[in-house]
Amino acid sequence: MSQPKLTIEDLQVSVEGKKILKGLSLEIKGGEVHAIMGPNGTGKSTLASTLMGHPKYKVESGSVTLNGENVLEMATDERARKGIFLAMQYPSEISGVTNADFLRSAINARRGEGNEISLIKFVREMEKKMSFLEMKESFAQRYVNEGFSGGEKKRNEILQMMMLKPQIAILDEIDSGLDIDALKVVAKGVNEMKGPEMGVLVITHYQRLLNYIKPDYVHIMMQGRIVRSGGPELAEKLEAEGYDWIKEELGIEDETVSQRS
Ligand SMILES: Nc1ncnc2c1ncn2[C@@H]1O[C@H](COP(=O)(O)OP(=O)(O)OP(=O)(O)O)[C@@H](O)[C@H]1O
Ligand SMILES: [Mg+2]
């Protein structure tokens, strides 16, 4: 597989008539880890949902391509099949579907008809990945995320990522609610997968995650766009000084996607 490339150009997105993303551009290539940081309500999860094709988010203008193909024309399942993966900030529960069945269907959808994974190979791989992520075997037969603790859900998202081997993985607050050991396990999963065949976008509030998942680029998001990009040192500056300095530099008072406009 060649090195993937996701290109977002001047993306403008609205929800229920309200503009949320106001001209966002970003390029993520295989092997790269990009981190987006930014205060609450600045459009980070909106970007993630839009990339996955959530029907609530209306693309007003701009473009998103994966390896030159127009992502915005694809249905959500097609985006997943093409290798875009989203670990959600609030993972959904799917009652009545076991984790194992869910993963196997998702993998087979991605592999395509006639190229399904054999049951033996699937089980072996799932067991290997679950043990790598220090998950109890019983999680294979539990319904997807049902009754999982916050941390267990996040670990399960990483299991999905490791099984599906996406080209572009978007991890929305994968660190929220994790204890320090779980944080290390989740980071271990991402680092294990890191390589030229996968690009990663991590959305986080805390520099701490980036001690474990080293970003190549850090972007600050405010008012529905990227207002500053840099290296890991940018995250360290935010941790130490917060966001006031950049708001001052930009001459803005309200960093959110303003409710008033
Ligand atoms: N489905 C929706 N319906 C209504 N408003 C929405 C919807 N999705 C997002 N918004 C609004 O868009 C703005 C940006 O939300 P978003 O979830 O993208 O922020 P965020 O940067 O991810 O914040 P946080 O750091 O708190 O997760 C918010 O004002 C939010 O209320
Ligand atoms: Mg969010």
Which ligand has the shortest distance to the CA of 254? 1
Rg (CA), the chain: 18
Please give the domain boundaries of the chain with CATH numbers for all domains. 5-92+167-250 (3.40.50.300)
Q: Which residues contact 207 (CB under 8 A, 6 or more apart)?
A: 235, 236, 238, 239
Q: Residue with the nearest Cα to atom 17 of ligand 1? A: 45
* Phi and psi at residue 207, to the nearest 5°: -60, -30
Structure confidence at residue 259 (pLDDT): 60
State the burial class of residue 135 (Cβ atoms within 10 Å of its Cβ: 0-12, 13-18, 19+): buried
Distance from the alpha carbon of residue 203 to the mean position of ligand 2, in angstroms? 8
Protein residues with C-beta less than 5 angstroms from the ion ligand 2: 44-45, 89
Q: Residue with the nearest Cα to atom 16 of ligand 1? A: 43
Which atom in ligand 1 lies closest to the alpha carbon of residue 39? 25
For each of the chain's 261 residues, which pLDDT tens digit applies? Answer: 689 999 999 999 999 999 999 999 999 999 999 999 999 999 999 999 999 999 999 999 999 999 999 999 999 999 999 999 999 989 999 999 999 999 999 999 999 999 999 999 999 999 999 999 999 999 999 999 999 999 999 999 999 999 999 999 999 999 998 999 999 999 999 999 999 999 999 999 999 999 999 999 999 999 999 999 999 999 999 999 999 999 999 999 888 887 654
Distance from the alpha carbon of residue 41 to the mean position of ligand 1, in angstroms? 5
Place of tokens 């993630």: 48
Structure confidence at residue 2 (pLDDT): 80
Query: What is the rounded CA–CA span in Å between residue 3 and residue 16?
Result: 36
Query: What SS3 class is residue 30?
Result: coil
- With 0.75 as the threshold, say if the pTM is over it: yes
What are the pocket residues of ligand 1 if the criterion is a CB atom closer than 6 Å to any ligand atom? Answer: 15-16, 20, 38, 40-46, 56, 89, 257
Query: What is the rounded CA–CA span in Å between residue 56 and residue 72?
Result: 14
Structure confidence at residue 261 (pLDDT): 47
Which ligand has the shortest distance to the CA of 18? 1
